[in-house]
Amino acid sequence: MAAEADVPLGSTTYHFATLDDLLVAALRQANEGFAKVLTARGGLSSPHADLPTELAALLGEWLAGDRTGVELEYELYLAALRRPALRPVAAEWADDAAALLSHRTDPRTARALVALMDGICLQVLLTDTPYDEEYARETLSRLIPGAAGG
């Protein structure tokens, strides 16, 4: 892990007792980064903004950023499949994102939106398919009662 990060082994073992500790810290940092992106988007908190449009644009901005960084964040997130120590942190991300969206919709819909956004991102990353913001907007709107196309 230290070699992949291009840092001396002593730097990682000094701060982290185990590989799981290091991965938990990295996933937590990734979660915080995405939460900042979510909260920085003013339209998500405005009751007048079109939520599907805001979420689709948010995904577009995130996926248009540093592809390697986005892939790494998903690799950490999916590492929870094989590393139980990461599961609570992965769950925190989903819960925190749903909590932010619950200000605009009911909690079940918020969780469904998080799952759909995850699915859209994974499809883009795994298939090298270009992100289609209009498809994302239209699909997200189907989950939101009263949204255009919903």
pLDDT at 26: 81
pLDDT at 15: 66
Evaluate whether residue 3 is within a structural domain: no
Is the pLDDT score of 55 beyond 60? yes
Domain count, the chain: 1
Q: What CATH number should be reported for the domain holding residue 116?
A: 1.10.357.10
Is the pLDDT score of 149 beyond 60? no
pLDDT at 7: 45
98 vs 3, more confident: 98
pLDDT at 141: 95
Q: How far apart are CA 125 and CA 131, in angstroms?
A: 9
pLDDT in tens, 71-126: 888 888 888 889 898 899 889 888 988 998 888 899 999 999 999 999 999 999 99
Residue 102 near residue 110 (C-beta atoms within 8 A): yes
Evaluate whether residue 11 is within a structural domain: no
pLDDT at 27: 79
Evaluate whether residue 10 is within a structural domain: no
Evaluate whether residue 45 is within a structural domain: yes
Evaluate whether residue 146 is within a structural domain: no
Evaluate whether residue 125 is within a structural domain: yes
Spatial CB neighbours of 90, under 8 Å, sequence gap ≥ 6: 27, 77, 80
Choose among 105, 91, 95: nearest CA to 54. 105
121 vs 6, more confident: 121
Evaluate whether residue 128 is within a structural domain: yes
19 vs 116, more confident: 116
Phi, psi of 105 (to 5 degrees): -155, 180
Is the pLDDT score of 3 beyond 90? no
pLDDT in tens, 21-49: 888 888 788 777 777 777 777 777 777 88
Torsion of CA 106, 98, 145, 118, to 10 degrees: -160
Evaluate whether residue 102 is within a structural domain: yes
Residue 16 near residue 22 (C-beta atoms within 8 A): yes
Specify the amino acid at residue 112: A
What's the chain's Rg over C-alpha atoms? 17
What is the span of the domain harbouring residue 24? 18-141
Q: How far apart are CA 133 and CA 72, in angstroms?
A: 22
